Structure 1
């Protein structure tokens, strides 16, 4: 069984006016604090192809989603573990079969070989609080963290955010996976 993975790098907020504006504001504030120029923010969507069948891995809010063809494999809190009983303050790690559309794609990484059972690792993905640096990784846990974590656990260290873009949480996922 052959398996490959690729990452679709999409513009943060491609589907929503609020997310796009708040993310841009947040990046300007972080860039000012770090004394650097703001960069375009990207969101990683992992695609794994095993024997011609594509499965996408993503993370997003639990609310406002139609069940569709996705399977929720993990959930976690947003902002604060204490408020996670509220659906507005939870995220889900989900997988969906089929190629599907990813809005706002800017770049697609090259295909990399992965073990055919790479998606089994999702059962072990850390359920850290989105938006917090609970592990002391130097940046917050995000959807990018989950994708980076899965890739590093699969032995892939060659995929990185596109040049000139920033994927908040990417390094947190790499560090959490031991990379």
Structure 2
């Protein structure tokens, strides 16, 4: 024993990418899942480009949830469905200190071009600004990766003109009852 007290580790600041990570170089055997997710994200299906589609991919670690979500996201972007861009955040839901929705919204606002000096001071104002930014743009794809709890995702869901896709073990969680869920 060293006599030093261990202080709880703070969650590292998340980074939201204003572009998607690279698609997997090799991707096979998930045609049904890809088709199901693309059907949920297709702006020509359901409510059109003004609606919000929510898709969740769940399964055990290492089965390819992120690869599946990235494959679908790249195909959707290539089809021109998200002319407003794509945002990606690793929520690190299985790390010792996961990223909270409050941390992620700040990273998303920065990725949307909001400067630090312009960031609202309260979480409620940050979420309102985030939804306002999404609502003022062409449709945006938001990929929230490695979520372990619906509380990491629900506050980040767009209010309109966007599509959200998440990967992690969040199926059956409150607030994610509608939309498409795919077992990874």
Scaled by the length of structure 2, the TM-score of the pair is: 0.27
- The structure richer in strand per residue is 1
Larger Rg over CA atoms: 2
- The structure richer in helix per residue is 2
